[in-house]
Amino acid sequence: MSATTSTDSGGAFSFDHRDMMVFILVMSLHGLQSLITELLPEFTVAGLGLEIGPFWFVAMSVVLLFRSFWACLAIPVGGIVFGEILIGDFSALGAVEGLIVITLSWFFVMSLITDPTDVKQIAAFGLLAKAMEETAAWFIDVGKFYVGVEELEAIAWLPETVWATEGVGALTQIVIAGLIFGAIPTLYLYPRLRGKIEPLLGMTPVSGRSGPTFTRESLKRLAAWVLLLPVAFGFEMLSETSGGLIVFEPAFVETYGEAFLLVPITAAAVVAFGLVYYRQRQVEA
């Protein structure tokens, strides 16, 4: 008989070999999609530079299959390991913002799920997670202007316009990454993964719950998101003024060209699909 998810047996923060496999799978898949989107060109609409991706439907479809803190943490860690360290552009202090904001945004959203079989609910909450992430980044970026650690990109006599300029960027990411390359593809991908990925990791699909969408647990997680937002801002400000504490910047891409991205892409693919292949062989044995 398949083991239940760690959430069913030990809470959202429990950690065993199944949680480790979930962490590795999410980390490598998110790192893989982030790197692939780096190779795609940027295009311009009405003078506004737009990037295709990142493909957030990967995170939405896989992470929301599970309800653990570690699945959420794996999203920013994947970006750090494969999108920063392996391409030679890593700053420890600069990475803290994403670790806090992204992890807590998804961790809060997970607490809202009442019916994991309802793909529309999953897609909507996935979009909410991306919107929370971008909103937090918006506040942090504006805050850096006001404390003087970043150059003000606003009308000289009306610095308040920085709220609009940064807000447009945040809204653009919510629409492109959160909706077009997030929630909409999730409607197709999530139901095709549910019930197929979990057994490979020794789990059964999580079940729904009765009661309201917003619970006391949701309130606690939302409060953690709000309270730790200034902490994320503090670390981001330190990274701008004091260096990265631990910095790894050999700049492999600048030295060897974009072809070097194939190295971390290959590494992420080997880890992700190697794990799936290994678990499939164990299940069949």
| pLDDT of amino acid 284 | 76
Contacts 24+ apart (CB under 8 A), 218-221: 218/108, 218/111, 218/112, 221/104, 221/107, 221/108, 221/111
Residue 153 pLDDT class (50, 70, 90 cuts):
low
This prediction has a pTM of 0.88
Amino acid residing at 100: I
pLDDT(135) > 90:
yes
Q: Would you state the pLDDT for residue 50?
A: 62
Q: What pLDDT is recorded for position 66?
A: 86
Q: How confident is residue 3, by pLDDT bands cut at 50, 70 and 90?
A: very low
Domain ranges (residues) in the chain: 6-284
The pLDDT of residue 224 is: 96
Average pLDDT along the chain: 86
Q: Is the Cβ–Cβ distance between 63 and 106 less than 8 Å? A: yes
Between these two residues, 223 and 258, which has the higher pLDDT value? Answer: 223
Query: Which pLDDT score, from 0 to 100, does residue 37 have?
Result: 84
Q: What is the pLDDT of residues 61-114, one digit of tens each?
A: 999 998 789 999 999 999 999 989 998 888 888 899 999 999 999 999 999 999
Q: Is the pLDDT of residue 264 over 50?
A: yes
Q: If DSSP codes are grouped into helix, strand and coil, which group holds residue 40?
A: coil
Q: What percent of the chain has pLDDT over 70?
A: 86
Per-residue pLDDT at 174 exceeds 60 = yes
Residues 231-253 pLDDT 10s? 999 998 888 887 667 788 888 88
- Res. 54: pLDDT tops 80: no
* Model pLDDT, residue 249: 82
Q: Is the pLDDT of residue 201 over 70?
A: yes
Pick from 37-41, 46-50, 203-207: least confident: 46-50
Confidence bin at 44 (pLDDT 50/70/90)? low
Residue 1 confidence (pLDDT)? 34
Taken in order 181, 183, 189, 193, the sign of the CA dihedral is positive
Residues 179-191: tens digit of each pLDDT: 999 999 999 999 9
Burial 242-269 (b: 16+ CB within 10 A, else e): eebeeeeeeebbeeeeeebbebbbebbb
> Which residues partner with 171 through β-bridges?
none
User: What confidence tier does 11 reach under pLDDT thresholds 50, 70, 90?
Assistant: low
Question: For the chain, how big is the Rg over CA atoms in Å?
Answer: 19
